[in-house]
Every structure is written in structure tokens, then in C-alpha cells.
Chain A
Amino acid sequence: DSGVTQTPKHLITATGQRVTLRCSPRSGDLSVYWYQQSLDQGLQFLIQYYNGEERAKGNILERFSAQQFPDLHSELNLSSLELGDSALYFCASSVLAGQETQYFGPGTRLLVL
């Protein structure tokens, strides 16, 4: 158990809908990362937050947004969902913002029908 929790574990929704994925980092970790894992794209970095502020942005679609709250938990919002958004979404956390061990949560499996 990495200490990172993600909810929900599974999510099934329809095209055009909006969902929110939630992540609680390990106690004491200030950075939260979001990654998308799909069969054809592998693990893709989406976005990083550090202590409540956006620190780095990757291949995140404009339909996606994220935030980190004062208690350091993070939410990833996916809107106007398309079939191609079906994937595993992982949250990871680390103590600080740089090149450190990232601890991954168990992921949220999103299926868009």
C-alpha cells in the first residue's frame, strides 16, 4: 500500500458527461501528479500540483482540469467525455516538487460508453 488513495476505483459514464476523480496524497507529501494510462499511449503525465499551485503541465486536454485543495487532496475533472478518454487515471504524490520517488495510488478506471 503506497499510502495514496484514489476514489472511485471504477467509473462508468456516457459520452458528453463530466466526472471528478479524487486523490489523497501520502501524509506529508506536498506534490500531487496525475497520469493517464491507456493501452496505446502508455503512461502520460497530465499535470502536477505542489502545495496548492500548478507546477507543471503535460498532455492535458482543455476539457480536463485539476486542482489541489488546502488539505492537499486533489481532484481531476474530466468534462465533455469522449470514448477515447476511457483509461486508467493514476494519482501519485511526492514529498517535494522535484526528482523524487513518486508514490502511485491504485488508480481510477474510467469507461466512457
Chain B
Amino acid sequence: QQQVKQSPQSLIVQKGGISIINCAYENTAFDYFPWYQQFPGKGPALLIAIRPDVSEKKEGRFTISFNKSAKQFSLHIMDSQPGDSATYFCAASSPSNTGKLIFGQGTTLQVKP
């Protein structure tokens, strides 16, 4: 019940295309859903995050869509660029006095020029 399932494992998109990464969870107590971006040789960095009181959050070319009833959320990267090539992790946490994050398995995105 603590798992977050992420798909696809890898994704190849042409420059200018839309990249879509999906995550699903089971624990209905989760109420914070961040996405982290990781470049080779670097640590993950927060990209964007959402809480279940909204169905969508947009920051620049990055949008999170959230479906509470389906217990799913997704990351959309519009106008994908070669510089977006990285590994993306969705994560979740439940309300508590800790920041413990449960991560998905990650998606390696390659954007071809």
C-alpha cells in the first residue's frame, strides 16, 4: 500500500513533442505529490509538486494532472527539449511530522533533436 507505481520505464520523444509520465498510488492517505528531475551524476531536484485539492498545476512547460478518484497523477512536459533529457521520479507522502517520500521507479526520458 506504500508503493507508487510509475510508467513508462523509458520514453523517447522528438524535440517539440509532449512527454507524458504516469504514476499511480494506493495509499489514500497520501496528500503531497512531488516530481523530481535527475540528471546523470547529480542528485534529484524538485521540479513541481501538487496536493489533491487541485486537479492540475502548471509551471512553465511542466504540468501535473491529478485524478484523486483514480489515484493517479501524471507529468506532462510540453514542447520537450533535448535539455529535458533526464530521469524523472514521481513521489508521494502522507500528512505527518515527517517528510518521508515514497518514490516511483523512475522514467528515463530522451528527447531527440
Give the chain B neighbours of A2 by CB distance below 8 A: 43, 45
Does B78 sit at the interface, judged by CB under 8 A?
no
Q: Are B43 and A106 in touch, CB under 8 angstroms? A: yes
Kindly identify which residue among A43, A44, A56, A107 contacts B98, using a CB–CB cutoff of 8 Å. Answer: A56
Docked pose: A97 CA to B44 CA in angstroms: 19
Contact status A105-B43, CB under 8 Å: yes
Q: Which residue of A is nearest B100, CB measured? A: A56
Q: Which residues from chain B contact A101 at a C-beta distance below 8 Å?
A: 34, 46, 49
Minimum Cβ distance to chain B for residue A20 (Å): 19
B95 touches A45 (CB 8 A): no
Q: Is the CB of A94 within 8 A of B43?
A: no
Tell me if B72 is interfacial: C-beta within 8 Å of chain A.
no
* B 61-88 contacts with A by CB, 8 A: none
Contact count band on B = 20 to 34
Interface status of A13 (Cβ within 8 A of chain B): no
Name the B residues within 8 Å of A58 (CB-CB).
100
Q: How many A-B residue pairs have CB under 8 A?
A: 69
Q: In angstroms, how far is the closest chain A Cβ from the Cβ of B73?
A: 15
Most buried by B among A2, A33, A44, A102: A102
Contact B43 A90 (CB under 8 A): yes
Decide yes or no whether B1 CB sits under 8 A from chain A: no
Chain A facing B: main interface SS: strand
> B49's closest neighbor in chain A, by CB?
A101
- From A44, A55, A104, give the contact of B43 (CB < 8 A): A104
A98 at the interface (CB under 8 A from B): yes
Cα separation A90 to B97 with both chains bound (whole Å): 21
- CB <8 Å contact, B44 and A43: yes
B residues with a Cβ closer than 8 A to A are 31-32, 34, 36, 41-46, 49, 89, 91, 93, 95-106
Known: A42-B103, A45-B103, A105-B43. 15 other contacts (CB 8 A): A31-B99, A33-B101, A42-B104, A48-B98, A48-B100, A56-B99, A56-B100, A97-B99, A98-B96, A98-B99, A99-B32, A101-B49, A104-B43, A106-B41, A106-B42
Q: List, sorted by A's number, 5 A–B pairs whose CB atoms are closer than 8 Å.
A: A43-B44, A43-B101, A45-B101, A90-B43, A99-B93
